[in-house]
Amino acid sequence: MINPPVIEVKNVSKVYSGVAAVDDVSFAIQAGEVVGFVGLNGAGKSTTINMLLGFLHPTQGEVYMFGEKVTLPNAATSHQKMGFATGDMALFDGMNGKQYLEFIARSYKTSTNSDTYKKLVAKFEPQLDKKINTLSRGNKQKIALIAAFMSDPEVVVLDEPSSGLDPLMQQHFLDLVREESEKGTTIFMSSHYLNEVIDICSRILLIKNGKLVKDIPTSELEIGAGKLVRVVTKAKVSPPKAAEHIEHEKRIDSYVLQFLYKDKALRLQEWLGSLPHLQDVTISDHTAEAAFEDLYDVEGATNV
Amino acid sequence: MFNLLRKTLYERRFFILGWSLGLAFLGFAMTSFFPSFSGGEIDGLLESLPPALQGLVGNLQDWKQLPGYIGSQVFDIRLPIFASILSILLAVGITVAEEDKGQLRTLVALPISRRKIIMAKWLSIVIICFIASLAVVIGVEIGVITIGEDLDQTVLVRLGLFTWLLITALATLIFAIGIASGKRGLTTGLGIIIAIGSFLLTTFAQSVSWLKDYEWLSFLHYFPAPEIAKGTVEWGNVIFYLTLIAVSLLVAFIFFPRRDIKAV
């Protein structure tokens, strides 16, 4: 028997004043998956997450958590099995970190004496005795992440979770997600840190202008394969045959051609040698960011 | 729910302390002035006021007896101003101010139903209003002891309970507007119109003849403190405030669980 997805979004749209912030988005996430949700600012990531959590009602479509339809009045039922954190989470600033986490623990009917809590505190080393409104963004973020994971949730939804963390804490966060993934926790996270998404997610959802434009396993992302080539010439030139993700740009007195190249270096060398009036050449590694840019542009162009 | 109630009260501990001290001082200070008012020191001045203006300072006959004086000068004329400000600050702070800061979103993300959130927040209003009312009563009581007068304790019990009902009703109404709409401007604006409008309407209706016909629209019309101090409790007034509380809560329960939470 196939288990229903723990998160299921069916043809969901959210329209504000006639403008669709999320437009007919559908996806499903199975138990134990770690899924990254990627898109530019304003693409619709947070709005989608807000509908999953029952903060916003979809203008059309339906959201299911653990097989149950999420409505605004009943969303709290699914929250018992969920953790949630955002990069700019508004914590209750009249409390200190310890009081805040005790409040969260009582809300989940758990305790700050649990092993999970102790492990999280040991990992992130938050400043628990200071009032929350005196903490830096990174320290608030640590508390928000502990709160999201401390109840041993089945599903954790994270919206830009590591923004504000220093590199060491960011690494601790990635380790935590890996450990949770090994335990079978489902994690759905949006992030601007693409290396982070590629590092820990098994699947990536790409959203652009409110539409889901790509849903692919991370392994299918062509990261590190090939070189990003950028040439500046006086006259417009054609790219080599093996070029992918080609971009042309006309400047006042020159032309810029950029493409991804995965073929033999010798052929690229020959092609470069054949270029008339070559002004500049840049050859760089095809980074995660570049891979996403390619994916975003190409898919966006065909789907939006 | 009690977890959230406790948290809400804890976060407002300084608000509660500040308002309690302030209201207790109001009660104490006004009561300690009673000998001057009852001793006729300012009778001449007041009698020289035109009849229309005499209405603004309360019934002169009420001033001669301590219960009437307290009912008029503390609970009828001065307390409603402070109670109105307290109600607006409390209700706005507990609803739309938290939502604007994103804290309501954090709360709704927890396994606490929206109905429980309404109940916990409303109960915190009830408790804070009780503490505020008790503070006035304690202030008056200390004032009575200080000036060496005797006062039937049932007078203060009646006034205290009615004040509790008044502040709770006003705060619940503003709370309902805030939690149901999520709009700060609307909530604050309506709160000010209701609270300050009522105060002006009731105060000036005694002097401005055409306002008398509309005085029933005032929130304070149903809080005749001097009469309550003298022992007259009209149950219709109690029912009015209780009904208002019930209707406000009903509005909150209908709209809040069905509306979007503001993103920050």
Residue among A50, A79, A88 minimizing CB distance to B110: A79
User: What type of residue sits at position B223?
Assistant: F
What phi, psi does A218 have (nearest 5°)? -60, -30
Judged by CB atoms closer than 8 Å, whether chains meet at A91 and B11 is answered as no
The confidence score (pLDDT) of residue A288 equals 66
First to last CA, chain B: 25
pLDDT digit string, tens, across residues A176-232 = 999 999 999 999 999 877 778 888 899 999 898 899 988 888 877 766 567 888 999
pLDDT digit string, tens, across residues B231-240 = 888 899 999 9
The confidence score (pLDDT) of residue B159 equals 92
The nearest alpha carbon in chain A to B258 belongs to A72
For chain A, what is the mean pLDDT?
Answer: 87
Nearest to A251 by CA among A272, A276, A232, A228: A232
The confidence score (pLDDT) of residue B175 equals 96
The confidence score (pLDDT) of residue A224 equals 57
Residue among B7, B106, B260 minimizing CB distance to A56: B260
Alpha-carbon span B234 to B17, nearest angstrom: 32
How many interchain CB pairs under 8 A, A with B? 79
Nearest to A199 by CA among A23, A22, A34, A54: A34
Alpha-carbon span A235 to A274, nearest angstrom: 13
Q: Tell whether A76 is within 8 A of chain B (Cβ).
A: yes
The nearest alpha carbon in chain B to A51 belongs to B260
Distance in Å, alpha carbon of B7 to nearest chain A alpha carbon:
7
pLDDT above 70: percentage of residues in chain B: 90
State the pLDDT confidence band at B62, using cuts at 50, 70 and 90: low
Q: Which residues does chain B have within 8 Å of residue A88's beta carbon, measured at their own beta carbons?
A: 102, 264
Alpha-carbon span A14 to A149, nearest angstrom: 29
Q: Which residues does chain B have within 8 Å of residue A55's beta carbon, measured at their own beta carbons?
A: 105, 108-109, 260-261, 263
Judged by CB atoms closer than 8 Å, whether chains meet at B260 and A76 is answered as no
The nearest alpha carbon in chain B to A77 belongs to B111
State the pLDDT confidence band at A303, using cuts at 50, 70 and 90: very low
Judged by CB atoms closer than 8 Å, whether chains meet at A79 and B115 is answered as no
Helical packing angle, A137-149 and A167-183, nearest 10°: 10
Report, as an integer, the average pLDDT of A242-263. 85
The confidence score (pLDDT) of residue B94 equals 94
Is pLDDT of A286 > 60?
Answer: yes
Please tell me which residue, B248 or B234, carries the higher pLDDT value.
Answer: B248
Domain locations in chain B?
Answer: 2-258
The confidence score (pLDDT) of residue A304 equals 30
3-state SS assignment for residue A295: helix
Judged by CB atoms closer than 8 Å, whether chains meet at A76 and B111 is answered as yes
3-state SS assignment for residue B219: helix
Report, as an integer, the average pLDDT of B107-116. 94
Alpha-carbon span A213 to A269, nearest angstrom: 35
pLDDT digit string, tens, across residues A20-47 = 999 999 999 999 999 999 888 888 999 9
Residue among B3, B4, B108 minimizing CB distance to A55: B108
Residue among A55, A72, A108 minimizing CB distance to B258: A72
Alpha-carbon span B80 to B167, nearest angstrom: 8
Judged by CB atoms closer than 8 Å, whether chains meet at A79 and B109 is answered as yes
The nearest alpha carbon in chain B to A80 belongs to B111
Report, as an integer, the average pLDDT of A99-123. 92
Is pLDDT of A124 > 50?
Answer: yes
pLDDT winner (highest mean) among A144-153, A188-197, A285-294 = A144-153
pLDDT digit string, tens, across residues A56-71 = 999 999 999 999 999 9
State the pLDDT confidence band at B51, using cuts at 50, 70 and 90: low
State the pLDDT confidence band at A170, using cuts at 50, 70 and 90: confident
Q: Catalogue all structural domains in chain A, each as residue range(s) with its CATH number.
A: 1-81+154-161+184-223 (3.40.50.300), 227-286 (3.30.70)
Please tell me which residue, A217 or B20, carries the higher pLDDT value.
Answer: B20
The CA-CA-CA angle for residues A207, A21, A81, to 5°, reads 70
Q: Which two tokens mark B73?
A: 């000068």
Report, as an integer, the average pLDDT of A2-26. 90
Where are the extended beta strands (E) located within A55-185?
60-65, 68-69, 82-86, 155-159
Q: A7-21, A27-41, A136-150, B201-215: which has the minimum mean pLDDT? A: B201-215
Alpha-carbon span A34 to A178, nearest angstrom: 9
Nearest to B262 by CA among B33, B63, B103: B103
